[in-house]
Amino acid sequence: MKNNIACDQNAFISKLREMNFSGPIEIAGRKFMLYHGRVIAVPNEQEFTIAQFRFLIHEVQKIASTEEWQH
């Protein structure tokens, strides 16, 4: 079911780093990215489904500024 994969974990973390997020910080086996005191949890799966990716994008949009998001 590879056609249901939207993004892999490493690519997502790299993109967040480009947007000035720091991390990942690992706590109790979970990864978290930080941005100006705000936290986003990164799913444990190595590849994200389209539904997971949409949810993550929505969370990032709530945290990051429009300028950084469009970079």
What range defines the domain where residue 31 resides?
Answer: 2-70
Using the structure block, give the residue that is written with the tokens 């974990």. 9
**Angle between helices 9-18 and 50-63 in degrees, nearest 10:** 20
The pTM score is 0.80
Using the structure block, give the residue that is written with the tokens 């970079």. 71
pLDDT per residue over 4-53, tens digit each?
A: 778 899 999 999 999 899 999 999 999 999 998 899 999 999 999 999 99
Count of structural domains within the chain: 1
42, containing H or E segment? strand 38-42
Q: Which among 28, 13, 26, 2 has a CA at the least distance from the CA of 60? A: 13
Place 67 in a pLDDT band, splitting at 50, 70 and 90.
low
